[in-house]
Amino acid sequence: MKDRNDTKGGNAWEDAPMGNMKIELQPESTGLVIVDMQVEGCERHGPGVKPVIGNIRRLLDRFRAVNGKIIHVQSVRTKDHPEFTVFGRPYGLLLGSPGADFVEELQPLPGEKVVQKTSHDCFYKTSMEAVLEKLDLRTCRDKVVVTGIGSSNCVYHAVIGFHIRNYYSIVPEDCIHGVHPQSQPFALHQFRSGAYNFNVTVTHSDDLQFASESLPLQRASAS
């Protein structure tokens, strides 16, 4: 890898290409976590997020087809949040506002879990651990497939949260998106590093396979 301070000729965090691996999933021991796929956030990410929405939707449909365990993470704020009152950020993702709602393609269905959070961390002062327990997703045993935005903040914190709680985390790189050009290469580099790669795997959504899916999936072309 290049020195991270050397930005000439490409992204400083870009890793050498790595081959993807097939990963077999069992519905009873795998959760799909969809992070912050909300109207306001996706608008901020621009047109580049549209293919990611489609990729997540296809993966979501596959989990639904096998009665998989699905968790939608929703970032919300109230007007007295320190981001606004202390640090002066403009209001955003206000609880109950249209911008805080999930994008149309990824609306939760009845019975699917929603975890609301008020920071980048989907575990901090949230119901995430209670939801995992209710879904019988166990540490040191089960897998979570983490998708969503943004790759170097909310998705990153979610993956690290699962990592330090000893879940096997899977990150399909076609199902996450960063708002800045270096966000995604940085996050993927971290996930592939020796600090995390013993229980964090970066792959492609088409390399995830349920045993009940009889035919190999045809990888969608990049948009």
* CA distance linking residue 96 with residue 103, whole number of Å: 14
For position 78, what pLDDT does the model report?
Answer: 87
* CA–centroid distance for 168 within its chain: 14
35, 122 Cβ separation under 8 angstroms: yes
Tell me 99's DSSP state.
G
For position 110, what pLDDT does the model report?
Answer: 95
pTM, entire model? 0.88
Strand segments, DSSP code E, in 82-163 are 113-117, 143-149
Tell me 95's DSSP state.
T
Region for 191 from its dihedrals, namely left if φ exceeds 0, alpha if ψ lies in -120 to 50, beta otherwise: alpha
CATH for the 23-74+102-210 domain, from 3.40.50.850, 3.40.1440.60, 3.10.20.30, 1.50.10.10: 3.40.50.850
For position 151, what pLDDT does the model report?
Answer: 96
In which residue ranges of the chain is pLDDT below 70? Answer: 1-21, 214-223
For position 1, what pLDDT does the model report?
Answer: 34
What pLDDT, in 10s, does the model give residues 140-183?
A: 999 999 999 999 999 999 999 999 999 999 999 999 999 999 99
Cα distance between the two ends of the chain: 27
